[in-house]
Chains A and B, each alone.
Chain A
Amino acid sequence: MSQQNRLNKDKSSGFIDRDKTIHFNFNGEQFEGYQGDTLASALLANDQKLVARSFKYHRPRGIFTAGSEEPNALMHLRTGAYQEPNVRATVAELFEGLEARSQNHRGSLKHDLMAINDFLSPFLTAGFYYKTFMWPKAFWEKLYEPIIRQSAGLGELSGQEDPDKYDKGFLHCDILIIGAGPSGLAAALAAAQAGSRVILADEDFVMGGRLNNETYQVNEMHGAAWAKATLAELASMDNVRLMKRTTVLGAYDHGIYSALERKTDHLSASDIAYNGNKPRQVLWRIYSKRAILSAGSTERPIAFPNNDRPGVMLAGAVRTYANRYDVAVGQNVSIFTNNDDGWRTASDLVAKGVTVQAVIDSRDIHPVAEIAGASIEMGAHVIDTKGRHALQSIQLSNGKTYDTDCLAVSGGWNPNVQLSCHHRGRPQWNEDILSFVPSGDGSGGLPPEMHIAGAANGHLDLSSALSSGYELAKSLSKELGNASKVGGCPKAESESIANSAFWFVKTDTKSRSWLDFQNDVTTKDVRLAQQEGFTAVEHVKRYTTLGMATDQGKTSNIPAMAVMADNEGKTIPEVGTTIFRPPYTPVSIAAYAGRSRGKEFRPTRLTPSHRWAKEQGAEFVEVGAWMRAQWFSKDGETHWRESVDREVTQTRNSVGICDVSTLGKIDIQGRDAGEFLNRVYCNTFSTLKVGMVRYGLMLREDGFAMDDGTTARLGEHHYLMTTTTANAVGVSRHLEFCRQCLWPDLDVHVISATEQYAQYSVAGPNARKLLQKIVDPEFDISNEAFPFMACGDITVCGGTAARLFRISFSGELAYEIAVPTRYGYSMMKTLMQAGEEFDAVIYGTEALSVMRIEKGHAAGNELTGQTTAHNLGMGRMVSKKKDSIGNIMSERPNLIKEDANRLVGFVPVDKSEKLSAGAHFIQKGKSAITENDEGWMSSVAFSPSLGHSIGIGFIKSGHQRMGEIVTASNLLQGKEIDVEIVSAHFIDPDGERLRV
């Protein structure tokens, strides 16, 4: 029979739409529900009591709650790559075609092979894994660990890439209201009417909180109707943003909150496709001036033996299923309570026509109400339950037994304080409601400008909840200067919330009373942990796993603290709470990633010639965010080395062109620009003539090399600095710091010009001839008129402004020509076209690197942040005629000692050997151990010019050891090669080629 537990079959009540039947599948079986159901309510409507297995003992478990605190009913939802594990059925909206599977069992849900664990429970107590699996040692990796890994965890991932889309976003408001229950709605209405910009967020798909689950009256109408009317009014206001299906996850600095909005989780695959495959979830960062936490409260259970059977539920949930979903979770319900609120479940169920078998109240007081047809047991408690896959009967402390298929348990209500503690605040004990409430303002701990309203602040009765939200919002709006006229405070009767401190049933040592249903933690486990010395609440948590996993102990923490307190002879506040951290409820990793996945992980920077390089079949390499051409393969080339060797050889023999636009370019202007450069570079720049370029080395404060590059003097007060590609941003930031903080008196201004110019290196004996074809004839670039290290503004191709620098990284006659980036693509093509008669070659970063190693130029591998000017053989560049950053610290004795590492060249003794970067130098005959380490190989290349492998690196007193043979030991490769120490300048050591 379909939906046999649905109440009021002839009429529509609650929040389900009986005109819209929804079909869904659970464990391969087809069921029906209605629009407005959760998966949990639909399963209960279809009398599916057994829906899960417990984590450790694989005990049968049923739905326990009606909200995000659910510890038991975790499901796999959807299939294939879309499968998501550990979804709480209590918050999963039902949709057409939904496929759900129970998890954590082998074999069927009903006949779980792993249920044997329950019989082994005496051996699986808290911390058993710390004491077992020790012997025999060899069994750990081969037997124990594989079994534990297979058994551990809850749901399973699909193992496939998540095909859903996710996004992030930013929102701003005057007042963020977290929770749209009675206090949240009252607050939102007051704040919005006052003129504040309001965001109202609620995790449910229907706003209204407990007003939708109860039969309360507000302003003389049904609470749910009042909520609906209030929401309609809020929705009509421009200054209000209503965000249902949105969970506020964390409270961060400066009034910032994170919130996850579930956009399409409630839609079928066809509906998602119909809506254009929009992001499934959006992770919002909400900036608020004030926040009102009106997150309500969560009911807590009472621990008693075998209290985990399917059919044992929280009392508030039982009446929620009846009132909101028209579902009777049992035909013969009993209630076990320690407070007045539990009686409300009984009366609501009777009003709905559900049989209430018994009301058991642990208090020895006069019955709170008359419940038609129910036995009333005052001063009694439940001491055991029976029923294998579902509850069948309960046994009471007074010896009575009741046959019942649902036991609704109420141990009182806990304010949802979690978000109020995200700044390490510790909640305070409130004896009136026997629970923790957020620490008040001024006692430290509440996130700044967070305020608490309603049940979250201990106002558990409806009237107080409404007025607290209303008054708070009015007051905060006034603080923010929003004081428009506000309507009156909504009115409601105050219901009784009297309760008692009855947390658990004391039993013999054999019985198991569950505290944490999700992690299978019992009162026995907590006692054991404390017996074994784990007395602090945080230690008990770690030892027993209490309060971990998806529910984070929302229903278990307070009862467990009561057990701890009882064991230690303390009060609950003396035991204290554990630390609350974001997120409030589980968030998929994909939501945190948002759209930053795969190629969209970060932006990509493309050089001006990128498109051209791609057309030429370039192989690209990521250099930071840049994509740079590594080499350009030609037909017939089967190995990258062939391409690189060709590019080097052709450049050295004729002319090669390389895109060097990625180098940092910083425009520096001001009357004190020269002095500024004197201070940031270790060598002098104020004396540089206009129209000339100088190599510069920049040190850090500690005297180590920071970056290098050339700087051109374009005018009396105008320089252009170049930096390495990797350090472009860092150097720019450093210059701004120096300018603004160290020397604000200097008249100097800097701005990045990296993106402004497309810059190409034109290198090789025919470089000048090539350039003369495109540089406009009025500009003389002969050696005499435009010597090595000259620079200047020119025009090319009939009037296009450009800059020319005669500098060389390759060691050849070379220039770098810069044009505005808009001409970058065209310039690349033009250079190659102009170079055709010289057989010009395009070369990539590999050839660039080969040529700079052949020339002995330092690059990133040498400027590691751990090398000095002295190490690099540039000690004399550190001018003592002036001060500069790092100048003094670079003179520390240990940095300039005679046997310090020096940059030199290395060639293999056997020229057929291949050198490897990272090899360490050991004196011949000594063993490769740290004590004998003399330095390391920093860069290597195969030199097509020399026909063998070459390298540069650092070795003690290298400059005085020319010709010495040492061993280059690479322990990672298990390779030792004899190498000869040589000059780092393998090609043209006197620099003749540069100056022709």
Chain B
Amino acid sequence: MSNPHSNSSFTLEAQTPLNGFNQSFDGIQVSELLGHSLVSMAMPEDKKSALAENIKAAYKTDLPEVGKFTISAIDNMRILGLQQEQCFVLFENEAVYKNGNAVSHIQEKTKDAAYLSDQSDSWAMLKISGENAISALERVCPINLQPTSDPSSFDTFSVTRTSMEYLGVIIMQLSKQGAENEYLLFSPRSSADSFLHMILTSIENVS
């Protein structure tokens, strides 16, 4: 997974945290999320309204509540409400391996209403889906992923921070309730190998 750049003498090649991992198991598909950028968006208290307006104007969507994410067809963007005053913005970015344009890309939309920090290289991003995905995840994930009628249940458009096997993980529920289970997991890049191993061990233990 590379996109070389060079001056006259040297070339830098990009590598993704999980080397483009993509594999199917018995009722479970696992693949690294590629071609996306992730930007942290901190919201000053006195500029929240302005930010919401700017986001609405640019992406036709709202800022999320904490624990939820909103979506936009533009850039296939998702805004993850992770805590008060801070969201993550996940979006498709073909140029992600060409230059560090993630912050500037978002800043064009938010203008000066948010403090932005590139997180694209901070996380290993893994998509896990399929009918047995919940069985595998319940071996490591303390979040209740079963669909329930409880308003606080973790269903479509839910996102939260949690920990799995001592690793910090952000988990998002991507699919609609009742449809095929599909989750997106983020874990720190430096421990990407342990992260993938943890998920694969869970799959092996249930499939």
Contact = CB atoms under 8 A, between A and B. Distances in A.
B5 A800 contact: yes
Nearest to B1: A822
A823 B97 CA distance: 9
Nearest to A667: B117
Given A670-B44, A755-B188, A170 B141 contact: yes
Interface string B135-169: 00011111110101100000000000000011100
A776 B10 CA distance: 11
Interface string A622-637: 0001100000000000
Contact of B190 (A607, A667, A833): A607
A977 B44 CA distance: 59
A819 interface: yes
Interface in A815-839: 819-827, 830, 833-834
B201 to A, nearest CB: 6
B99 A755 contact: no
A669 interface: yes
Interface in A100-146: none
Interface in B32-54: 40, 42, 44-46
B14 A823 contact: yes
Contacts of A689: none
Most buried by B among A747, A755, A774: A755
Contacts of A797: 5-7, 10-12
B67 to A, nearest CB: 16
A533 interface: no
Contact of B167 (A285, A603, A821): A603
A830 B122 contact: no
A798 interface: yes
Of the listed residues B10, B15, B97, B193, the one surrounded by the most CB atoms of chain A closer than 10 A to its CB is: B10
Interface centre among B46, B115, B140, by most A CB within 10 Å?
B115
- Determine chain A's interface SS by DSSP, over half rule: mixed
Contacts of B16: 822
Contacts of B92: none
B183 to A, nearest CB: 14
Contacts of B85: 749
B139 A167 contact: yes
Contacts of A172: 144, 146
A213 B128 CA distance: 45
A718 B123 CA distance: 22
Contacts of A819: 12
Given A626-B190, A801-B99, A820 B120 contact: yes
A747 B140 CA distance: 37
Contact of B45 (A279, A595, A747, A757): A747
B9 interface: yes
B62 interface: no
Interface centre among A625, A671, A820, A825 (most CB of B within 10 A): A820
Contacts of B45: 747
Question: Which of B85, B117, B140, B197 counts the most chain A CB atoms within 10 A?
Answer: B117
B157 to A, nearest CB: 19
A170 B6 contact: no
A168 B138 CA distance: 9
A230 interface: no
Interface size class of B (residues with CB under 8 A): 35 or more
A823 B13 contact: yes
A687 to B, nearest CB: 21
A833 B6 CA distance: 14
B15 A826 contact: yes
A799 interface: yes
Nearest to B187: A603
B177 to A, nearest CB: 14
B118 A749 contact: no
Contacts of B115: 669-670, 717-718, 749
**A626, A756, A799 interface centre (most CB from chain B within 10 Å):** A756
A152 interface: no
Contacts of A287: 142, 144
Contacts of B10: 773-774, 796-798, 830, 833-834
Contact of A757 (B99, B121, B198): B121
A669 B110 CA distance: 15
A165 interface: yes
A755 B122 contact: yes
Interface in A953-973: none
B87 to A, nearest CB: 11
B195 interface: yes
Interface in A565-609: 595-596, 600, 602-607
B16 to A, nearest CB: 7
A798 B7 contact: yes
A604 B193 contact: yes
Contacts of B9: 773-774, 834
B189 to A, nearest CB: 5
B198 to A, nearest CB: 8
Contact of B166 (A167, A169, A603, A755): A603
A821 B124 CA distance: 11
A909 interface: no
Interface in A30-56: none
A755 B189 contact: yes
Of A170, A752, A827, the most chain B CB neighbours within 10 A belong to A170
Nearest to A282: B139
Nearest to B207: A276
B194 interface: yes
Contact of B122 (A595, A607, A756): A756
A753 B12 contact: no
A823 B12 contact: yes
A512 to B, nearest CB: 49
Contact of B191 (A603, A669, A822): A603
Contacts of B120: 756, 820
Contact of A669 (B12, B42, B144): B42
Interface string B12-25: 11111000000000
Contact of A822 (B86, B121, B194, B198): B121
B11 A606 contact: no
Given A278-B205, A773-B10, A820 B194 contact: no
Nearest to B116: A669
B138 A171 contact: yes
A225 B134 CA distance: 33
A197 interface: yes
A749 B42 CA distance: 6
B138 A825 contact: no
Contacts of B6: 797-798
A751 interface: yes
- Scoring B11, B16, B190 by chain A CB atoms within 10 A of each residue's CB, the highest score goes to B190
A165 to B, nearest CB: 7
Counting chain B CB atoms within 10 Å of each CB, the highest count among A596, A604, A834 belongs to A604
A603 B44 contact: no
Interface string A381-411: 0000000000000000000000000000000
Contacts of A667: 40, 117
A169 B138 contact: yes
Nearest to B84: A740
Among B6, B8, B194, max chain A CB count under 10 A is at: B194
B138 A821 contact: no
B12 A830 contact: yes
B119 interface: yes
Contacts of A800: 5, 12, 99-100
10 contacts: A167-B139, A168-B140, A170-B140, A197-B148, A600-B201, A753-B119, A757-B121, A798-B6, A822-B14, A823-B12
Interface of B: 5-16, 40, 42, 44-46, 85-86, 97, 99-100, 115, 117-123, 138-144, 146, 148-149, 165-167, 188-195, 197-198, 201-202, 204-206
> What are the 8 A-B residue pairs with the smallest beta carbon separation, nearest first?
A749-B42, A801-B100, A603-B194, A798-B7, A172-B144, A669-B115, A755-B122, A821-B121
Given A287-B142, A603-B166, 9 more contacts: A596-B165, A605-B188, A671-B44, A755-B123, A798-B5, A821-B122, A824-B15, A825-B15, A826-B13
